[in-house]
Amino acid sequence: MSVQNSDKVMQFREDRRLNVISALRSIALAGMLATIVFCIFAYHEDLNLDNIKRIVSYIDRLTFDGRPTDTYVFDSGLDTTYAAFDVGIAACSGGSFRFIPPFEDMDYSCQIKYASPQIETCGQSLYVYDLGGRGISRFNSYSLLGSVTLDSDIISLSANDSGDISVVTDEKGYRTAVTVYSKRFKELYKWQTSEHFAFLSALSPDGGTAAVLCIGQQNGAARFYIRLQPTDGGECRAEIDLGGMKVYSFEYYSNDRLVVLGEDGIYCYDQDGKQSDSFGFNSGSLITFSHERGGMCAVSLKGEKGDSSSVHVFDGRCREVYSRDCSGAVRFMDLSGDTVAFITPEGVVKADIAGGEEQQAELSGARGVLITETGNVAAVYSDHAQTVSFEETGE
């Protein structure tokens, strides 16, 4: 019988897998706690008991019962207004606001008694205002965050990404007024005037300037001009004379750069009102457009032959970054980030501006197109929107 040398016996390391798992679990819990604390800190102004209950319901359904859907159903009617918002679509019609996410039985709805509701999105919230009326409400995807009733009729409303809004109203005793509100509806600035008739406005990203489009008369003809109003109460910084050019839209590209879409081209102006860049529409009249905050702008122009048209996308410096000729008139389009989508008589086209890729799908009967936050393209019909499935067509 031999005796083994204990020095030659292999020594096994202690099993520490349970310790590692415990450590990873602690890190995960710490991360979840940090996330919760951050959300409470960042969004505490919008949290209330109803919001928390709905958030819990969202998480529960997404985790256990979430059934993805490619259809967004809303109230039927040609007067329905809609917009891509969050991961779904927001719609207003028949005195109600609805947010429809891409999951069944998870819609949020709220009654609003607005005769002509319009939607303005801004980041993680959106505004619904009564055009020609006096009501404004702010929503997120699961609750009403606040509302206000003004003393004057609303002509237009615009927002910046911070959630501040600029509202043009028809005033008693004055011709018009421009008022800037915070997202909590606190009045930050007001300009009342009987010398200028204002009807559109845009708010700079930092909220420091309200660009106000006004109309007047010169030699018996209409004259359009933009006043750059500091929201600290200072004197008008500059007045941009546009002559007789009709303006369809204008948005800030940065705090010191305003992008104006007119009937004959797209123009950029600095904070002193001086034109810095432009791109003229040498041929063809404007059919439709999509102009997003940040300066990117997409337009469709009538072609020279028959009912043909062309689609063009410009960056915030009036540089053309995408173009395509189409055999028919392009009357519906949407622009989001580096993606543009538009409907032609042959179907719907989705183009990746940065990557240069295009996709196309057959389509008929749609009355609009939207790009959701997730990058999906939805064709809009009278009572629903449908996610479009594409096939790659080229680069």
For residue 98, count CB atoms less than 10 angstroms from its CB and return exposed for 0-12, middle for 13-18, buried for 19 or more. buried
Give the pair of three-digit tokens for residue 32: 């979840």
Cα Rg of the chain (Å, integer): 26
Amino acid in the structure at residue 309:
S
State the Cα–Cα distance between residues 311 and 274, nearest whole angstrom: 28
Q: Which of 320, 246, 310 is nearest to 277 (CA)?
A: 320
Give the pair of three-digit tokens for residue 312: 């063009």
Q: Which of 210, 162, 152, 209 is nearest to 184 (CA)?
A: 162
> DSSP label at 263?
T
State the Cα–Cα distance between residues 138 and 156, nearest whole angstrom: 15
Whether 392 shows a pLDDT value over 90: the answer reads: no
- Banded pLDDT at 93 (limits 50, 70, 90): confident
Report how far Cα 111 is from the mean position of its chain's Cα atoms.
Answer: 22
State the Cα–Cα distance between residues 248 and 162, nearest whole angstrom: 23
- DSSP structure string for 265-281: EEEEEETTS-EEEEEE-
State the Cα–Cα distance between residues 252 and 203, nearest whole angstrom: 7
> DSSP label at 170?
E
Amino acid in the structure at residue 16:
R
- Do 393 and 350 touch, CB atoms closer than 8 A? no
Within 10 Å of residue 140's Cβ, how many Cβ atoms?
Answer: 19
- Do 211 and 224 touch, CB atoms closer than 8 A? no
Per-residue model confidence (pLDDT) at position 272: 94
Per-residue model confidence (pLDDT) at position 282: 84
- Banded pLDDT at 37 (limits 50, 70, 90): low
Per-residue model confidence (pLDDT) at position 66: 52
- Do 301 and 309 touch, CB atoms closer than 8 A? yes
Higher-confidence position of 172 and 328: 328
Residue for token pair 């009403």: 144
Average pLDDT of the segment spanning 71-95: 85
Whether 55 shows a pLDDT value over 80: the answer reads: no
What's the mean pLDDT when you consider all of the chain? 86
Q: What are the counts of helices (DSSP H) followed by strands (DSSP E) for the chain?
A: 2, 33
Whether 113 shows a pLDDT value over 70: the answer reads: yes
- What separation in angstroms does the CA of 170 have from each of 111, 125, 150, 179, 332? 26, 26, 11, 11, 31
- Banded pLDDT at 103 (limits 50, 70, 90): confident
State the Cα–Cα distance between residues 224 and 215, nearest whole angstrom: 5
Least confident range of 20-29, 94-103, 315-324:
20-29
Residue for token pair 């053309």: 320
- The per-residue pLDDT for range 192-229, each reduced to its tens digit, is 999 999 999 999 999 999 999 999 888 888 899 999 99
- The per-residue pLDDT for range 349-384, each reduced to its tens digit, is 999 998 889 999 998 889 999 999 888 999 999 888
Q: Which of 213, 185, 123 is nearest to 160 (CA)?
A: 123
- Do 139 and 97 touch, CB atoms closer than 8 A? yes
Whether 248 shows a pLDDT value over 60: the answer reads: yes
Per-residue model confidence (pLDDT) at position 395: 46
Q: In sequence order, what are the beta bridge partners of 148?
A: 136
Average pLDDT of the segment spanning 63-73: 68
State the Cα–Cα distance between residues 109 and 89, nearest whole angstrom: 12
Higher-confidence position of 326 and 305: 326
Within 10 Å of residue 239's Cβ, how many Cβ atoms?
Answer: 14
CATH superfamily of 284-395: YVTN repeat-like/Quinoprotein amine dehydrogenase (2.130.10.10)
Helix (H, G, I), strand (E, B) or coil at 2: coil
Per-residue model confidence (pLDDT) at position 298: 97
Whether 141 shows a pLDDT value over 50: the answer reads: yes
